[in-house]
Chain A
Amino acid sequence: MSALSIQGVAKHFGNVTALDNVSLDIPEGTFTCLLGPSGCGKTTLLRIVAGLEQPSAGAVVLDGTDISGLPAHKRGLGMVFQSLALFPHLSVAENIGYGLRLQGVSATARREKAEELLGLVQLEGVADRRITQLSGGQRQRVAIARALALEPKLFLLDEPLSALDAKLREEMQVELRELQARLGVTTILVTHDQREAMTMGDLIVVMDHGEIRQVGAPLDVYRAPADRFVADFLGGANLMQGEVAAGNTVQLGEACIKIEDAIGAGNGEAVTLCVRAEDIQLTSGAPRDGNCLTAKVSFVRDLGHVVEVTANCDQGEVKVLVPAKEREGLAVDGEVTLHLPADVCRVLEK
Chain B
Amino acid sequence: MTAAFLIAAAVAVLTTALALTRSNAVHALLYLVVSLLAVAVVFFLYGAPLAAALEIIVYAGAIIVLFVFVVIMLNLGPEATEQERRWLQPDIWVGPSLLAAVLLVELAVLLTDGSAAAAGVVGPAGTRAVEARAVGIRLFGPYLLAVELASFLLLAGLVGAWHLGRRPWQGSPAREEEGEAP
Is the pairing of A and B real? no
